[in-house]
Amino acid sequence: SFNAPDPIAMNDLRAAAVQFQHQPGDKPANLKIVREYTAKAAAQGVNLIVFPEMCVTGYWHLRDLPRADLETLAEPIPDGETTQALLDLTKEHELSVGAGLIERGGDGRLFNSYVVAMPDGRTACHRKLHCFINEHMSSGDDYTVFDLPDGTRAGILICYDCNLGENVRITALKGAEVLLAPHQTGGCNTPSSRCMGVIDVNLWENREVDSDAIEAEFKGPKGREWLLKWMPARAHDNGIYIIFSNGVGRDDNEVRTGNSMILDPYGDVLAETWKAGNDMVVADLKAETRHMCTGVRWIRSRRPGLYEPIATPTGKEKDIRTVRFSREDS
């Protein structure tokens, strides 16, 4: 069911978005970084910290793994070791923590999932709707909107989920005031000619000697410029805050661009980084900013009776793996 957005329902919230270079398959090492940044965020009075997609397990190397290796990395949610570790962390620091990993569902299916652990003992979990990383992993079928401990309504969409405007709009219609947007993106080998594209891994490996060269790539069309083509529109049109957390650095044979940022409901960037390394940005999400903002008012002006074609198949739909990697123009 949909709930009409209430522009004054949310509470002020201090949020953090973290970017870090994960170690492929090394969950203890990656959780160590999660712990370190959570402690730093708590020291700054943060209420919600958002880490990247698949940051616990690693990401791009998963595309080549057989199912048995994926099973070794996978865990149930919320009873798995990682979720329980996150819950312990939230209680220690009194803030909510979100992180990505491979979930083993009760039916044995594997998902690219994102779990938010909260200090009151609750968890929320989103299964990526458009999963293409490995043929042995399934896409989720549900939108995820939940209450943070202070009552603010939050939603989760993972990486490619955010690219489709319908997903963000439905999440907003379900009442989300803040969108957690964990990614592993930028620097991707893509058929598009005007955005992203591969970054020379040598620029990353040489970052301590020449940080300007790699950061120029992060700021350009392979990173920040691409993000700013669409992400502000998602925030503005839906009247929501967006907390964008991304991987950074070499991810197997590609380089993630970081650019973690927090946007307000007008699409303005409140905080961002283009550092060629692990980093965290913090911003205050003010309830007052949503009051009568453009997106909230536009949603209230909708005429749903006109929108049936949006949910009607055109016959041109393709499997996400085909769309993601195809070089066809049609």
Instruction: Tell me how far apart the alpha carbons of residues 269 and 184 are, in angstroms, rounded to a whole number.
Output: 19
Q: In 3D, which of 236, 226, 220, 307 has the Cα closest to residue 269?
A: 236
DSSP state of 257: E
- pLDDT surpasses 80 at 326: no
Write the DSSP string, 258-291. ---EEE-TTS-EEEE---SS-EEEEEEE-HHHHT
Tens digits of per-residue pLDDT, 199-219?
Answer: 999 999 999 999 999 999 999
Please report which confidence band the pLDDT of residue 329 belongs to, taking 50, 70 and 90 as the band edges: very low
Residues in a beta bridge with 50 = 17, 98
CA diameter of the chain: 58
Q: Residues 234-248: what's their mean pLDDT? A: 98
Residue 18 contacts residue 50 (beta carbons within 8 Å): yes
Instruction: Tell me how far apart the alpha carbons of residues 296 and 7 are, in angstroms, rounded to a whole number.
Output: 7
Residues in a beta bridge with 123 = 117
Burial string for 267-299 (b: 16+ CB within 10 Å, else e) reads bebbbbbbbbbbbbbbbbbbeebbeebebbeeb
- pLDDT surpasses 50 at 271: yes
Sequence-distant (≥ 6) Cβ neighbours of residue 176 within 8 angstroms: 145, 153, 154, 155, 240
Burial string for 149-173 (b: 16+ CB within 10 Å, else e) reads beebbbbbbbbbbbeeeebbbbbbb
Q: Residues 96-115: what's their mean pLDDT? A: 98
Q: What is the pLDDT of residue 321?
A: 74
Percent of the chain, pLDDT > 70? 95
Element (H, E) at 123: strand 123-127
Q: What is the pLDDT of the chain when averaged over all its residues?
A: 94
At 90, give phi and psi (nearest 5°). -65, -40
Q: Residues 7-18: what's their mean pLDDT? A: 86
Tell me which of 197 and 328 has the higher pLDDT. Answer: 197
Neighbours of 246 (CB within 10 A): 28
Residue 142 contacts residue 132 (beta carbons within 8 Å): no
Please report which confidence band the pLDDT of residue 1 belongs to, taking 50, 70 and 90 as the band edges: low
Tens digits of per-residue pLDDT, 162-198?
Answer: 999 999 999 999 999 999 999 999 998 887 767 789 9
Angle at 325 between CA 190 and CA 169, to 5 degrees: 85
Residue 268 contacts residue 232 (beta carbons within 8 Å): yes
- pLDDT surpasses 60 at 290: yes
